[in-house]
Amino acid sequence: MKVCNHVKELISKIKNFVQETASGERPTLARWMRTYVDNHPDYKHNSILPKNVMDDLLLTLHKISTGEIQEKTFQKIFPDWNQNEL
């Protein structure tokens, strides 16, 4: 089966992502969020999330999703290919 280099690269990135997540090398989104909250200066470690902690978490996730903040945990896997490149 002949597969273009773009597809081979994508398959390799997905395979690495799954392996790193399964091994614990790369945290899941849930683990990342728990760590973020746990390290937030306003979180009192009492299982109650103040509004400002939740707001900061959501704002940080939004900034990561738009590329305003670079976070290695959420490195891009899928390229912005158009159909002509496949």
Give per-residue pLDDT as tens, 34-77. 999 999 999 999 999 999 999 999 999 999 888 888 888 877 66
Pick the CATH number of 27-73 from 3.40.50.300, 3.40.50.720, 1.10.8.960, 1.10.1740.10: 1.10.8.960
- Measured CA to CA, the distance from residue 4 to residue 58 in angstroms comes to 38
- Confidence (pLDDT) at 76: 67
For the whole prediction, is pTM greater than 0.85? Answer: no
CA angle (16 as vertex; 8, 19 as ends), nearest 5? 140
